[in-house]
């Protein structure tokens, strides 16, 4: 009898289970597809006597709705199962990730930039392949100055006027020709010199140049800025000492020493027992340089300084061999992970 079949199917529907999406789909096909159980019953329903049609039709609808509800219920159950992450342990230590490190020269360069940024300096950049004008002539180098000698400078073949810059002072000149005072810039960059490679010399290294031009700039301003820099970089007890020197582009010129930060000024092998180590060159911008770069030297004055990043890094971290900086030995670079 059709009624009995429907009745027993209603019981069956209540107990349906589906372990996964595949099983659920099989149930749908079995009961609700074209050739499924429900459509089979519909076929039988056509032969039902007219007086029973209403009652059995209602039963049949009840079965169909129950089936659809059941399958929906099973589908929802499966979806929440997929979202269930209760077996995930979020407290577990992650897999160790090998972290890269910043290069020691970058660490120190960034620190230098940081200190001078706080003093109001912005950053300027210039080309490493430069012309003679920006590297030498505009900076008041006399024609026969030894720094122009083939020994020191890399020339670009067949272009006697094009060189690899030997110092970042070349950027001074580029900044002056492109902007009006007041100028307060820091120029970090790589420089090249034709030197035999050893523990103490390399054919390329890094410098940071500083330039300040305004109406009332004095040597005292320069000294104060450099003292602030030395103390920020090497600690509050650091002393500075300025010794008269010569650079074509500054007048007067000086070299600055700091109290040896390795022995605290008492004297050690690093400072050759003197208690002092040289860290930079500086001076008041020579009026010839201002004029050569289009700045009126009667109105404006300036100071400049230049330091080697390798030198500062050696002082901070006691790197004994310059070659380590360019060999990319991971064992060396790894030592700076903590300084990042
Ligand atoms: N350019 C110099 C060098 O390479 C360093 C230097 C000295 C830069 C004195 C300056 C300065 O700006 O005033 O040795």
SS (H, E, C) 67-99: HHHHHHHHHHHHHHHHHCCCCCCCCCCCCCCCC
Q: Are residues 325 and 204 in the same domain?
A: yes
CA count, 13 A, side-chain hemisphere, 305? 28
Can you tell me the mean pLDDT for 18-46? Answer: 89
pLDDT > 90 fraction of the chain, expressed in percent and rounded:
60
pLDDT of 101 reads 84
**Domain assignment of residue 93, yes or no:** no
222 CA distance to ligand 1 middle (Å): 14
- Give tens-digit pLDDT for 221-262: 999 999 999 999 999 999 999 999 999 999 999 999 999 988
Domain final residue pick, 82, 116, 134: 82
**Domain assignment of residue 94, yes or no:** no
Q: Are residues 108 and 78 in the same domain?
A: no
Measured from the CB, is residue 189 less than 6 Å from ligand 1? Answer: no
Q: Are residues 227 and 314 in the same domain?
A: yes
- Which residue's alpha carbon is nearest to atom 6 within ligand 1? 306
**Domain assignment of residue 119, yes or no:** yes
Q: Which residues pair with 164 in a beta bridge?
A: 129
**Domain assignment of residue 273, yes or no:** yes
Is pTM, for the whole model, over 0.85?
no
**Domain assignment of residue 150, yes or no:** yes
Measured from the CB, is residue 209 less than 6 Å from ligand 1? Answer: yes
Q: Are residues 68 and 26 in the same domain?
A: yes
- Give tens-digit pLDDT for 274-331: 999 999 999 999 999 999 999 999 999 999 999 999 999 999 998 889 999 999 898 9
Domain final residue pick, 21, 52, 82: 82
3-state secondary structure 184-236: EEEEEEEEECCCCCCCCCCCEEEEEEEEEEECCCCHHHHHHHHHHHHHHHHCC
**Domain assignment of residue 62, yes or no:** yes
Q: Are residues 273 and 147 in the same domain?
A: yes
- Which residue's alpha carbon is nearest to atom 2 within ligand 1? 306
Residue 209 structural domain:
104-339
Q: Are residues 45 and 156 in the same domain?
A: no
pLDDT of 340 reads 61
**Domain assignment of residue 214, yes or no:** yes
Query: The domain spanning residue 227 has which CATH number?
Result: 3.30.930.10
Q: Is 217 left (phi over 0), alpha (psi -120 to 50) or beta?
A: beta
- Which residue's alpha carbon is nearest to atom 13 within ligand 1? 282
Measured from the CB, is residue 283 less than 6 Å from ligand 1? Answer: yes
- Indicate the number of domains in the chain: 2
Q: Are residues 267 and 199 in the same domain?
A: yes
Q: Are residues 60 and 119 in the same domain?
A: no
73 CA distance to ligand 1 middle (Å): 80
255 CA distance to ligand 1 middle (Å): 9
Q: Are residues 78 and 142 in the same domain?
A: no
Q: Are residues 77 and 117 in the same domain?
A: no
Measured from the CB, is residue 230 less than 6 Å from ligand 1? Answer: no
Measured from the CB, is residue 165 less than 6 Å from ligand 1? Answer: no
Q: Which has more confidence, 185 or 44?
A: 185
Q: Are residues 66 and 154 in the same domain?
A: no
Q: Are residues 71 and 122 in the same domain?
A: no
**Domain assignment of residue 87, yes or no:** no
């Amino acid at each position: 009898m059709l009624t009995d079949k429907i009745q027993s199917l209603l019981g069956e529907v209540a107990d349906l289970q589906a372990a996964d999406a595949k099983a659920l789909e099989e149930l749908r096909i079995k009961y609700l597809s074209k050739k499924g159980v429900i459509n089979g019953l519909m076929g039988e329903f056509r032969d039902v006597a007219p007086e029973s049609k209403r009652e059995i039709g209602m039963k049949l609808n009840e079965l169909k709705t129950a089936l659809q509800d059941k399958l929906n219920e099973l589908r929802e159950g499966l979806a929440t199962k997929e979202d269930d992450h209760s077996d995930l342990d979020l407290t577990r230590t992650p897999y160790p990730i090998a972290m890269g490190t910043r290069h020691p020269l970058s660490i120190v360069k960034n620190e230098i930039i940081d200190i001078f940024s706080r003093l109001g300096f912005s950053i300027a950049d210039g080309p490493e392949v430069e012309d003679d004008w920006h590297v030498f002539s505009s900076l008041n180098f006399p024609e026969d100055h030894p720094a122009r000698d083939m020994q020191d400078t890399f020339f670009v073949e067949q272009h006697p006027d094009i060189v690899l810059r030997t110092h970042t002072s070349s950027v001074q000149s580029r900044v002056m020709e492109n902007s009006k005072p007041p100028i307060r810039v820091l120029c970090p960059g790589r420089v090249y010199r034709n030197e035999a490679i050893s523990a103490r010399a390399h054919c390329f290294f890094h410098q940071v140049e500083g330039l300040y031009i305004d109406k009332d700039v004095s040597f005292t301003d320069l000294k104060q800025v450099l003292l602030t820099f030395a103390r920020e970089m090497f600690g509050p007890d650091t002393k500075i000492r300025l010794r008269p020197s010569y650079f074509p582009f500054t007048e007067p010129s000086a070299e600055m020493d700091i109290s040896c930060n390795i022995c605290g000024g008492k004297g050690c092998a690093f400072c050759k027992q003197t208690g002092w180590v040289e860290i930079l060159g500086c001076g008041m911008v020579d009026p010839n340089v201002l004029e050569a770069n289009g700045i009126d030297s009667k109105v404006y004055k300036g100071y400049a300084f230049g330091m080697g990043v390798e030198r500062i890094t050696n002082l901070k971290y006691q790197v004994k061999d310059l070659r380590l900086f360019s060999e990319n030995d991971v064992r060396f670079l790894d030592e700076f992970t903590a300084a990042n």
